[in-house]
């Protein structure tokens, strides 16, 4: 992967993974807020649908902040004990990155540790700290101790560091508002040197964790919801890549078609543009190229999309179709209720469920399907609702 400031190859402009360097399009306001928060020790919560650019933004802001950080990804977490292991690893790793030569701080650990077992792993040229806890001990206590230990060592050295906690809704699902969630709040309320950057894609669960007064993380963070990248920002981004590849602009017609087909979903913009810039390496794509290669994207994504749609109950499929049809009628209007043959309460339940599954989101007063490929296949295989 290309590093920031390294010369970019044209194929690096549209990565399917993290967008870094010149591949990172705009997000200037969000970056500015996040960098400010990070540098001032304010915890933040990044919320957005899958593949909207949370990790890219977090890493972009962290690289600007020049602070040491470690990423803990909870997507595989299945119990409090496993969450504890992830956090203990993350804490030990961040100590290594933030505190410099180990002989300067290793003795301080003994002052603060009660339940945890710090161990030194000595390799050929390196020394690594490992933090473990006994199997019977309480994960919440251990997590609290580890995070406080990190904060105290950072304070001794008067240096700051960041823990990036990704797919954090899984912690809420497992801890259900108690235990580890409470331990993290306990520490997060008092840290000055350790900043936590929470992020996740299940908006519903995250909002419950951070907004529900009964939950321990209530009001602890600056919430930063991520939307799609604006059209005018993509205009600059794509035209710059066009200049590099062909020393020419994309026609307006082609540019707007790319935006319309991908619906500015960051992952699909990149997937599609990478194809266009590769297949049309000699000259800018024309409308026929755009239509042809979009079919290829649709074909590649077909099985995943069909799988996601087919497991939905009938009511949710029908509501999804109504949204895909971009019907201007309210979803609970009399006519829609008649067409769907569903009472408004069932329609509301279907909407809530589709939102929880991260298939739809609300923009202003309107619902929209998040993934343009799902939208396409919902319309293509539309069941006939009389």
Ligand X SMILES: Nc1ncnc2c1ncn2[C@@H]1O[C@H](COP(=O)(O)OP(=O)(O)OP(=O)(O)O)[C@@H](O)[C@H]1O
| Site residues (vs ligand X, CB under 6 A) | 15-16, 18-19, 23-25, 27, 48, 50-56, 201, 229, 266-267, 270
Binding mask 1-40 for Mg ion (x = CB under 5 A): ----------------------------------------
Whole-angstrom distance, CA of residue 365 vs CA of residue 151? 43
Near Mg ion in 95-134, by CB under 5 A:
none
Q: How far from chain centre, in Å, is Cα 337?
A: 35
Q: Which does 18 bind (CB under 5 to 8 A by kind): Mg ion, ligand X, none?
A: ligand X
- Minimum CB separation of residue 75 from ligand X in Å reads 8
CB of 55 to Mg ion, least distance (A): 3
Say which entry of ligand X, Mg ion, none residue 170 contacts (CB below 5 to 8 A, set by partner kind).
none
Q: What's the min distance (Å) between Cβ of 53 and ligand X?
A: 3
- Residue with nearest beta carbon to ligand X: 53
| Pair type for strands 161-166 and 69-73 | parallel
Out of 37, 49, 55, 262, name the contact with Mg ion by CB under 5 A. Answer: 55
* Least spacing, CB of residue 93 vs ligand X, in Å: 20
What is the C-alpha to C-alpha distance for residues 369 and 378, in angstroms, rounded to an integer? 10
User: How would you classify the pairing of strands 44-47 and 360-363?
Assistant: unpaired
Q: Rounded to whole angstroms, how far apart are CA atoms 84 and 139?
A: 6
Among 327, 339, 335, 337, smallest CA distance to 366 is for 327
How far apart are CB 233 and Mg ion at their closest, in Å? 20
Residue 202 near Mg ion by CB under 5 A = no
Tell me how far, at minimum, the Cβ of 113 lies from ligand X, in Å: 33
In terms of CB distance, is 55 or 70 closer to Mg ion? 55
Q: Which lies closer to ligand X via its Cβ, residue 267 or residue 277? A: 267
Which segments of the chain does DSSP mark as H helices, in order? 28-39, 54-65, 80-98, 106-112, 139-157, 169-175, 179-190, 203-211, 231-246, 252-262, 266-279, 287-310, 314-324, 334-340, 344-356, 372-380
283: exposed, middle or buried (C-beta count within 10 Å: 0-12, 13-18, 19+)? exposed
Closest to Mg ion by CB, 197 or 373 = 197
């Amino acid at each position: 992967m290309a590093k920031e400031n390294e010369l970019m190859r044209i194929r690096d402009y549209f990565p399917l993974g993290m967008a870094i360097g010149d591949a990172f399009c705009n997000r200037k306001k969000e970056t500015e807020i996040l960098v400010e928060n990070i540098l001032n020790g304010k915890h933040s919560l990044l919320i957005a649908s899958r593949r909207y650019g949370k990790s890219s933004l977090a890493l972009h802001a962290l690289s600007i902040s020049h602070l040491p950080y470690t990423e803990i990804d909870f997507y595989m977490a299945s119990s409090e004990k496993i969450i504890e292991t992830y956090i203990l690893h993350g804490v030990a790793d961040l100590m290594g990155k933030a505190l410099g030569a180990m002989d300067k701080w290793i003795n301080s650990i003994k002052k603060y540790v009660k339940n945890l077992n710090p161990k030194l792993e000595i390799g050929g040229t390196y020394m690594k700290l490992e933090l473990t806890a006994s199997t019977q001990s309480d994960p919440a206590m251990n997590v609290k101790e580890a995070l406080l230990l990190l904060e105290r060592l950072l304070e001794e050295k008067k240096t700051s560091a960041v823990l990036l906690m990704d797919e954090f809704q899984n912690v809420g699902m497992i801890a259900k508002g108690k235990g580890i969630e409470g331990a993290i709040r306990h520490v997060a309320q008092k840290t000055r040197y350790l900043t936590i950057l929470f992020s996740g894609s299940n908006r519903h669960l995250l909002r419950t964790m951070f907004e529900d007064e009964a939950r321990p993380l209530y009001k602890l963070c600056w919430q930063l919801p991520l939307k799609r990248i604006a059209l005018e920002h993509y205009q600059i981004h794509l035209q710059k890549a066009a200049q590099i590849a062909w020393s020419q602009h994309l026609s307006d017609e082609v540019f707007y078609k790319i935006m319309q087909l991908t619906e500015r979903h960051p992952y699909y913009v990149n997937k599609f543009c990478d194809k266009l810039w590769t297949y049309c390496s000699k000259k800018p794509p024309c409308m026929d190229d755009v239509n042809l290669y979009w079919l290829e994207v649709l074909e590649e994504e077909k099985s995943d999309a069909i799988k996601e749609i087919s497991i939905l109950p009938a009511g949710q499929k029908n509501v999804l179709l109504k949204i895909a049809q971009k019907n201007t009628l309210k979803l609970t209007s009399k006519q829609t209720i008649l067409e769907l043959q569903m009472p408004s309460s069932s329609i509301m339940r279907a909407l809530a469920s589709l939102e929880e599954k991260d298939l739809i989101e609300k923009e202003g007063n309107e619902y929209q399907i998040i993934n343009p490929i799902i939208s396409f296949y919902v319309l293509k295989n539309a069941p006939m609702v009389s």
